[in-house]
Structure 1
Amino acid sequence: MATHESHYTLPLPQFDRPVKLLIVVAPYYKDIADNMVAGARAVAAACGAEVDLVEVPGALEVPTAIAMADRQANYDGYVALGCVIRGETTHYDTVCNDSSRAISLLGLQGACIGNGILTVENRPQAEVRADPAGQNKGGGAAAAALHLIALSRKWAGQTKGIGFRA
């Protein structure tokens, strides 16, 4: 079981300008979602980030909400939170794969996103991963978004070589 392994965690970045994060959560399993939001908020606060929160119906809507916010609002980064627990049908695979793929594509387009959508076999796995005093996957997703924001700010305005940009 993975609970006995130790993992290296990057120290949280420091910012010289304010950071504004949007947490997008699918609260289908409300208690699990609430724990993940608490973990994400605590990590954001540790970096001095301002946080807004929106709820969407399910994990498939999380990337759509992030894409809308990235186009229409003014956030530095995003935290995607939710939980998908395997059921009796292939719907689990569709939701897991499609939400993850959409979040990855948004990231490749330049959005700074921490993906904290849990994909688990059962509720006890989700509870351990969501617990801010346990694996704190909500906090980990916020930390990932903050690290990407720091990289984005570090590289902003830098160009490669000489020439024209498309």
Structure 2
Amino acid sequence: MAEAETHYILPRAEFDKPVKILIVVAPYYKAIADNLVAGAKAEIEASGGTWELIEVPGALEVPSAIGIAERMSNFDGYVALGCVIRGETTHYETVCNDSSRGITLLGLQGLCIGNAILTVENMTQAEVRADPDRGNKGGGAAAAALHLVALSRKWGASRDGVGFRPARDEYQIAADMKSTPTA
């Protein structure tokens, strides 16, 4: 079982000024969600940060809530929590893939997100991974978000995202720079 595996864990992130984290949880499996939240809260508080908690209906709504919060509030980072247990239909794959894809796309835009939307085969796996004294995936997701916040602060906290950005008032053709008319 994954619980018995050992792996390297980065030292706890440290901050000169407090960090404000939004925990977004889908409490479909309430006991699992409560354990994930407990682990996340403990990790955030251990780093001297503060947190707010919101609940959404399901795992598919977690990325949307994070996107809304990023546009309309002032959080340094986000923790995505929930649990999807395999059932008898392909709905499991859809929820797992799309919630993960949404969170990844937000992260690639520059948001600092730790993801602990558990994707498991059964309730026993979920219980082990969510338990703060065993798998502590909620705490791990909070630690990931905090490490990304630390990197963002180290590198100047750019909020414009990453990736390709077209020139606003110029273009280049065959190494010849030309200005475009501005309106």
TM-score range, shorter chain: over 0.9
RMSD over aligned Cα atoms:
1.3
For residue 148 of structure 1, what is the aligned residue in structure 2? 148
Aligned to 2:141, what secondary structure does the other structure show? Answer: helix
1:4 aligns with 2:4: yes
Q: Contact conserved, 2:80 with 2:115, CA < 8 A, in 1?
A: yes
Structure 1 residue 38, shift from structure 2 partner: 0.2
User: Residues 49 and 88 (structure 1 numbering): CA distance in 2 closer, same or farther, change over 3 Å?
Assistant: same
Between Structure 1 and Structure 2, how many residues are aligned?
Answer: 160
Residue 21 of structure 1: SS of its match in structure 2?
Answer: strand
- Report deviation, 1:6: 1.1
1:38-64 deviation line (CA, Å, top 9, x unaligned): 000000000011100000000000000
Alpha-carbon shift at residue 66 of structure 1 (Å): 0.1
Alpha-carbon deviation of 1:106? 0.1
Distance in 1 (CA, whole Å) between partners of 2:75 and 2:87 is 35
Name 2:13's counterpart in structure 1. 13
Distance in 2 (alpha carbons) for counterparts of 1:99 and 1:58: 9
Q: CA deviation digits over 1:94-129, x for unaligned, max 9?
A: 000000000000000000000010000000000000
Q: Which aligned runs of 4 or more in structure 1 are off by greater than 6 angstroms?
A: none
1:3 deviates by 3.0
Task: List gaps (5 residues or longer) in structure 1.
Answer: 159-164
1:87 counterpart residue number = 87
Provide the rounded CA distance (Å) in 1 between the counterparts of 2:108 and 2:5.
Answer: 30
Aligned to 2:72: 72
Shift of 1:18: 1.1
Describe the shift of the 1:96–1:157 C-alpha distance in structure 2 as closer, same or farther (beyond 3 A): closer
- Aligned-pair CA distance for 1:34: 0.2
When normalised by structure 2's length, the TM-score is 0.85
Alpha-carbon distance between aligned partners in 1 of 2:62 and 2:3, rounded to the nearest angstrom = 28
Aligned-residue sequence identity (percent) comes to 73
AA paired with 1:119?
A: T
TM-fit CA distance, 1:157: 6.4
